[in-house]
A and B are shown apart, each in its own frame.
Chain A
Amino acid sequence: MKHTIRQVFHSPKFVVGFCIFMAMVLLVILYPLFIIDDPLAIIGQGTFFEPGIYVNIYDSIGSSPYTLMLDDATQKRIDNKLGDEERLALKEWLVVYGIPENEINIQDTEKLLKQWVNNYDATLKITGMTNARQRYFVRLNDSLNGLLSKEGAIIAVIDPETDTLEKTDTVEQSDYVNISQVPNVRVFPLGTDNFGRDMLTELVSAIGTSLMIGLVAGIIATLIGLIFGLLGGYMGGLMDDIIMFITNLFTVIPSFVLLILISYSIGQAQRGAVTIAVVIGFTSWVWTARAVRAQVVSLRNRDHVNLSKLSGHSIVYIILADILPYIASYVVMALILQISAGILAEAGLSILGLGPKTTDVPTLGLMMNWAMIYSAHLMGKWWAYFPVIVAIALISFSMNLMNTGLDQVFNPALRD
């Protein structure tokens, strides 16, 4: 046993897969110790905030300013509002408006803006321009307002007695704030999802739930498969015929179809993560049963089994002591594959809207489903779906690597 384990950990493929897998498990265990937020808490008022550091504007105004004289500050400020795309848009409007194209130089910021300010008229309807595009120009015009100003922004409060604004402070263009002195800063490494939840917290929790679903489904499937395979293979006769009949039946009838039917019949309210896992387990044992049975049939007439029979050992004892050890490696490999298949099955079900109920816990499939329903993929909100796909792929990749590694240890013919 000890020797086998040492041999397994010498297989580079297994070790790589194991490391990836353990890294994910550690992440799931350690992350909640440091960040104790509810993964389903809705924080953002709005959909799909970009990944980044969110600094409270109100608090930054209140904190003490530091003056930094940086040469490229003005340029950066202009570039932020007036990138290449905006410059081309300005040119497009001006050309349509009737300014000769050779008079427009989109690199000359000052001249371009002057032409724009002098000519732009929001009320002007340009024929052939869509409403959305017209509104884009209105927004662009608003954002360009005061871009070249050298003055600071004035902060004023309303005087309740006179109802007038009273200047309290000025924020200069060269004022900076130290982020560590701002009391309210929130980091969203993966942005927020369509409901305004923190993607990273949700993702970690979802990985945990999905691994749990995979594990429960895998264990159930492997147990059923093992029992059926052992009974059919060892007993033979009528028992074997019946088991083989059922197994063959469920190999051709797609398990996904059964999953859909059962999940729908259970109903949304009763579908918890564990229920889904159990259902997946009960529909995916076929492969294990086939493999185990084939192994047992070839073992059944070996000498040591016959000797055991002659010694009068009970069937249970023979199966446990003389057969199980020989198929243990197959069973472990099947379990690993079942876990990753279970995670994929949950994801597929959830995309159809038949996954676990949405109010309890996030799962990888549900997150994918939400991202798809809110068309994150069409709007370029990569952080809403890409990390989920990567997480699923990494889990099943690591499982498969472990499986291939084990396969090479136990089947020397496959070694490179």
Chain B
Amino acid sequence: MKGYLKYFVNKMVWFLVTLVCAFLLNFFLPRLMPGDPVAVITQRVAQGMSSQAGIQKVYEEYSNLFGTNKPLSEQFILYMRNFAKGDLGISFSKYPRPVADVIASSIWWTVCLQFPAIIVGWLIGNTLGALAAYLKKGFDKVLMPISILVSNFPAFGMAVILLVIFGVGLKWFPTSGGYGFDLVPTFTWKFIWSVIVHYQLPFWSIVTIAIGGQAIGMRSMAIYELNTDYVKYSRFLGIHDRKIIGYVFRNAMLPQVTGLVLSIGTMVSGALVAEIIFSYPGLGSTILTAVMGQDYPLISATTLIITLMVLISTFIIEILYGFIDPRIKAAQAD
């Protein structure tokens, strides 16, 4: 247990450090860009304004709003303090709604859509990959090219194709939104059913993309494991095939968990774009509205929230991983 505690503390420190860096990046990146971001925003907002004094006034308003007229260090402290209070500023495009409110209404859609989809895709993909490595022959010959092809489809491409086939063509599922546009979110059966129906297409498009990549990874891991000495030795000893497969699967699984940790960011960004295709009311669509409405506070807050989501899920998987893999405890105990 001591080894695990050490592992946990190590990961925790690393998580906090990354968190701070994510905040720093989110804060400094736009400010490091050549040119004055406030000037750019003013220029966009003041398009068509002819009075110089008016433009100057807008500029001052925004400087005050963002606090860019204060020194950078003071700005950063202010930014952190506001974030801790849950204050992310006021949205431009949805004025006067606060950004925190806009994000609160969309984040759960994203969380409930993406994480189940990624986990289901990961599980199915790994099972298929392991089967392909074990069964070989026909199954492998069919599965591999399909997996390679599918995993090469861009996430939005798969989303569009599913949408056209099942939404527009067969009319099995609705094509856009998170629930029927004629409904108000309530706890009625009609609303819940509508949410479930709208959930299917975005969910399966994310799952399909995840399956392909995971299956390929798992297949090569399992093939590698099947050729190792311990497998050959076990076979030589006459241990039952099913038991060996159990060992192989477990050993091949561990790098796949690490793979999940490393690729969760990429998957989330792919899924965000897929959300846009289905006009799903999650963070992806929020970014789109923010970009379209040139809503700077909203963009910056959304990117920060996405980073946080990815960081937290990575952290959780790593903590669970410590329970699964005994080598980690051993390595930390040394």
Least Cβ distance of B303 to chain A in Å?
5
| Contact yes or no, B148 A348, CB < 8 A | no
Interface membership of chain B positions 18-52, coded 1 if the CB is closer than 8 angstroms to chain A and 0 otherwise = 10011001100110010101001000000000000
- CB of B276 within 8 Å of the partner chain: yes
Query: Quick one: given A260-B287, A260-B299, are A353 and B292 in contact (CB under 8 Å)?
Result: yes
| Contact yes or no, B18 A252, CB < 8 A | yes
* Complex Cα gap A414–B287 (Å): 41
Q: Chain A residues near B18: list those with CB within 8 A.
A: 248-249, 252-253
Per the 8 Å Cβ criterion, residues 1-24 of B in contact with A are 14, 17-18, 21-22
- CB of B266 within 8 Å of the partner chain: yes
Interface size on B, residues (CB 8 A): 56
Q: Chain A residues near B175: list those with CB within 8 A.
A: 378
- CB of B256 within 8 Å of the partner chain: no
* Complex Cα gap A199–B303 (Å): 34
Choose from B22, B152, B164, B288 the contact partner of A377 (Cβ within 8 Å): B164
Least Cβ distance of A337 to chain B in Å?
11
Query: Quick one: given A261-B29, A389-B154, are A414 and B148 in contact (CB under 8 Å)?
Result: no
Q: List the one stretch of A47-55, A223-231, A262-270 in contact with chain B.
A: A262-270
- CB of B307 within 8 Å of the partner chain: yes
| Contact yes or no, B311 A389, CB < 8 A | no
Per the 8 Å Cβ criterion, residues 215-262 of A in contact with B are 248-249, 251-258, 260-262
- CB of A372 within 8 Å of the partner chain: yes
Interface membership of chain B positions 144-160, coded 1 if the CB is closer than 8 angstroms to chain A and 0 otherwise = 00001101111111001
* Complex Cα gap A414–B269 (Å): 30
Q: Name which of B21, B160, B161 has the most chain A CB atoms within 10 A of its CB.
A: B160
| Contact yes or no, B303 A413, CB < 8 A | no
- CB of A393 within 8 Å of the partner chain: yes
Q: List the one stretch of B81-89, B109-117, B220-228, B247-255 in contact with chain A.
A: B220-228
* Minimum CB distance partner of A404 in chain B: B148
* Complex Cα gap A393–B37 (Å): 36
Q: Chain A residues near B220: list those with CB within 8 A.
A: 414
* Complex Cα gap A318–B300 (Å): 45
Q: Chain A residues near B206: list those with CB within 8 A.
A: none
* Minimum CB distance partner of B31 in chain A: A265
Interface size on A, residues (CB 8 A): 42
- CB of B310 within 8 Å of the partner chain: yes
Query: Quick one: given A348-B154, A385-B160, A392-B154, are A265 and B272 in contact (CB under 8 Å)?
Result: no
| Contact yes or no, B287 A262, CB < 8 A | no
Choose from A252, A253, A348, A380 the contact partner of B270 (Cβ within 8 Å): A348
* Complex Cα gap A393–B153 (Å): 5
* Complex Cα gap A65–B214 (Å): 63
| Contact yes or no, A377 B168, CB < 8 A | yes
| Contact yes or no, B148 A265, CB < 8 A | no
* Complex Cα gap A353–B25 (Å): 22
| Contact yes or no, B227 A413, CB < 8 A | yes
Least Cβ distance of A383 to chain B in Å?
12
| Contact yes or no, B265 A389, CB < 8 A | no
Query: Quick one: given A253-B25, A265-B37, A348-B270, are A413 and B156 in contact (CB under 8 Å)?
Result: no
| Contact yes or no, A352 B152, CB < 8 A | no
- CB of B130 within 8 Å of the partner chain: no
* Complex Cα gap A372–B288 (Å): 12
Interface membership of chain B positions 199-231, coded 1 if the CB is closer than 8 angstroms to chain A and 0 otherwise = 000000000000000000000100110010000
Query: Quick one: given A252-B314, A253-B21, are A352 and B291 in contact (CB under 8 Å)?
Result: yes
* Complex Cα gap A267–B37 (Å): 9
- CB of B195 within 8 Å of the partner chain: no
* Complex Cα gap A251–B269 (Å): 13
| Contact yes or no, A393 B152, CB < 8 A | yes
Least Cβ distance of B235 to chain A in Å?
17
Choose from B26, B157, B223, B307 the contact partner of A413 (Cβ within 8 Å): B223
| Contact yes or no, A368 B156, CB < 8 A | yes
Per the 8 Å Cβ criterion, residues 262-316 of A in contact with B are 262, 264-267
| Contact yes or no, B26 A261, CB < 8 A | yes
Per the 8 Å Cβ criterion, residues 108-135 of B in contact with A are none
- CB of A28 within 8 Å of the partner chain: no
Q: Chain B residues near A261: list those with CB within 8 A.
A: 25-26, 29-30, 299-300, 303
Q: Chain A residues near B192: list those with CB within 8 A.
A: none
Interface membership of chain B positions 298-332, coded 1 if the CB is closer than 8 angstroms to chain A and 0 otherwise = 01100100110011001000000000000000000
| Contact yes or no, A400 B30, CB < 8 A | no
Per the 8 Å Cβ criterion, residues 318-375 of A in contact with B are 340, 344, 347-348, 351-354, 368, 372
| Contact yes or no, A401 B148, CB < 8 A | yes
| Contact yes or no, A252 B303, CB < 8 A | no
Query: Which residues of A come within 8 Å of B, CB atoms?
Result: 248-249, 251-258, 260-262, 264-267, 340, 344, 347-348, 351-354, 368, 372, 377-378, 380, 382, 385, 389, 392-393, 396-397, 400-401, 404, 413-414
Task: With A261-B299, A266-B33, A351-B273 given, name 7 new contacts (CB 8 A).
Answer: A248-B14, A255-B266, A256-B269, A351-B276, A352-B288, A372-B276, A382-B164
Q: Which 8 A-B pairs have the closest CB atoms?
A: A256-B269, A254-B265, A389-B157, A265-B33, A396-B152, A397-B152, A265-B30, A257-B303
